Structure 1
Amino acid sequence: MQDETPKPIDGRDWTGPDHRSEGLDGLIAPPLSRRGFVMTSLMTGLTLATTRVEAQAIHTDTTGIEAGEVRIPAGDGPMPGYRAMPEGKGPFPIVLVIEEIFGVHDYIKDICRRLAKAGYCAVAPELYARQGDLSRMTDVQEIVRDVIAKTPDAQWMADLDATIVWAASASKGDPERIGVMGWCRGGRAVWLYAAHRRDLKAAVAWYGPVGGERTGIQPRTAGDVAAEIHAPLLALYGGADTGIPVASVEAARDKANAAGKSVTLTVFPDAPHGFHADYRPSYRKDAAAAGWSKALDFLKANGVG
């Protein structure tokens, strides 16, 4: 069996201060007092927290790729996740895939396979595995209240850092070419992680909230950190998203660009929130396909490819 213990890459500590921003007050914390993992494996199928599953849900096969559930060492035990990558020797550029609020279910797994088909080592860690079992939850408000709101930002940032170490040391990933992509709440995480991780090459945020409530464990919004991002960021948003005003995203973009950072915003005028989620009624095929093409081009244009 392949040793999956994280190791330094080329003698360097890829989770150390050379690669993280120490200036995000409240986001870089001392070693966390962590609870055990509630989810020890990923859910099978799609989230139960949806009223129906649409017939257009995409399924990407595994021809030419290696794909499946993995265990990622995360300091307090093995964190469940899903990894897909091309067959062959590698190393392959790494793309962290950050889930919506519903867990690493079949939609997120399929995104990893799509990225693997494009040449990436795509890894989706289950970032809420300590806070609740998303495979059993059916109520969106319960998920937000009891899981999402109780997950410290510092915790999942550390877990993403650990995922990079694992991908580079045990999964044919190239630590010199790291990107991140996230949807919905994962889109918020993309903005924050881009301000945390100095060695990111590119970040893609799909309709992630840029505002919202600040709490002791989630002290800053995506808009708060917009001027601090370390990587070019592509923001993909829907003009018909009733929960995220386009003006708020434009303000975050302008704040970043005024600080000398690079944020490219694409708004699909008629697209609602969740327009990429092919298993839900919110799916808009044309906007999803155009956004996906832009995302892949953006990764490659910024050295993740």
Structure 2
Amino acid sequence: MSIPDDARGTTLGGPEGLDPRPLSRRGFVMTSLITGLTLATARVEAQAITTDAEGIEAGEVKIPAADGPMPGYRAVPRGEGPFPIVLVIEEIFGVHDYIKDICRRLAKAGYCAVAPELYARQGDLSTMTDVKTIISEVISKTPDGEWIADLDAAAAWAASAAKGDLARLGVMGWCRGGRAVWLYDAHRTDLKAAIAWYGPLGGERSAIQPRTAGDMAGEIHAPLLALYGGADSSIPIASVEEARDKARAAGKSVELIVYPEAPHGFHADYRPSYRKDAAEDGWRRALAFLKQHGVA
């Protein structure tokens, strides 16, 4: 699905350096989603949360993108709708069972949740077992303009074919997906609410990833809830505070919540980093934030 001309401009037009048009296109390497959990990180599968599909419709879908069908996962309440849309942005590990379960949790709360596989063109994440390889061969080679266009396509598809209401649009992402939340918030002017779970604010810039999340903090549109761990060795809290202050100085709204003892990945219930109290509190805050800002 191409984005119609009348849906561009002020609605989808992002700031300079984040052109929503794809910067490069290649065939889809992944044509379906990961079955089970990622192989690329330590797992504690016995503690992983499993949400059933009672009262909702949930499953893998094909989302029309500019260059063909993109694999994704959709969960939505049963009934006519339309339901508010939450775009779910994966970690670096792909749309695996953890991300699918998050979609089902959101559907149980009344949302049309859609998680497109944003790295489907770069490599088969279902076979990758090394984080460094994922970063070097997949993450660093995915243009920001490409996944931004894919999220726009997912939102348009949710509204046209998945009982979603584009007038009530939110976004939520984890880890690298948390970074994407900041950037997408700067791109999309009709976004109602954005929630970043421990997304990095800094990092290297490149021709295809020209600006960091911190660079974009003063250009966000929707109110943003930032959920971070005080014991996260990979993301200095000072960098998040700086981004928050930058946004506020520009008249933007950022609410920062720091869980002092929580490490990176504290919401990832399938990993040793999971911290139940912080994860549950953050989830309650996230749902309340969506409702507070019109995604309900």
- The verdict on a shared fold, with TM-score over 0.5 as the criterion, is yes
- Of 241, 250, 253, 1:259 maps to 250
Q: 2:11 aligns with which of 19, 32, 49?
A: 19
Under a length normalisation based on structure 2, what TM-score does the superposition of the two structures give? 0.97
1:69 aligned onto 2:60: yes
**Counterpart pick for 1:270 among 261, 267, 275:** 261
> For residues 173-188 of structure 1, what are the structure 2 equivalents within 5 Å?
173-188=164-179
Instruction: Write the deviation string for residues 68-117 of structure 1: whole angstroms up to 9, x where unpaired.
Output: 00000001000000000000000000000000000000000000000000
Partner residue of 2:70?
A: 79
The answer for unaligned runs of 5 or more in structure 1 is: none
Q: What amino acid is aligned across from residue 111 of structure 2 in structure 1?
A: Y
Distance in 2, Cα, partners of 1:280 & 1:40: 26
- CA contact 1:6–1:170 (8 Å) conserved in 2: no
2:169 pairs with 1:160 = no
Task: Indicate whether 1:97 and 2:88 are aligned.
Answer: yes
Distance verdict in 2 for CA 1:7–1:130, change over 3 Å: closer
Structure 2: gaps (5+ residues)? none
Counterpart residue identity of residue 24, structure 1: E
Residue 234 of structure 1 aligns with which residue? 225
Q: How far off is 1:50 after superposition?
A: 1.8
Given the alignment, which residue of 182, 187, 205 partners 1:191? 182
The answer to whether the aligner puts 1:120 opposite 2:111 as a matched pair is: yes
Q: Do structure 1's residue 49 and structure 2's residue 40 form an aligned pair?
A: yes
Cα offset, 1:154, TM superposition: 0.2
Q: Describe the shift of the 1:150–1:57 C-alpha distance in structure 2 as closer, same or farther (beyond 3 A).
A: same
1:199 & 1:62 partners in 2: Cα distance? 30
Runs of 4+ that moved beyond 4 A: 5-8
Total equivalences in the alignment: 296
Aligned equivalents of 2:280, 2:43: Cα separation in 1: 22
Higher helix fraction (1 or 2) = 2
- Give the TM-score normalised by structure 1: 0.95
Identity of aligned residues (%): 76
1:186, distance to aligned residue in structure 2 (A): 0.1
Asked if the contact 1:73/1:79 (under 8 Å) is kept, the reply is yes
Counterparts of 1:32 and 1:247, CA distance in 2 = 32
**Counterpart residue identity of residue 287, structure 2:** L
Per the alignment, residue 217 of structure 1 pairs with: 208
Q: What is the aligned-residue RMSD (CA, Å)?
A: 1.3
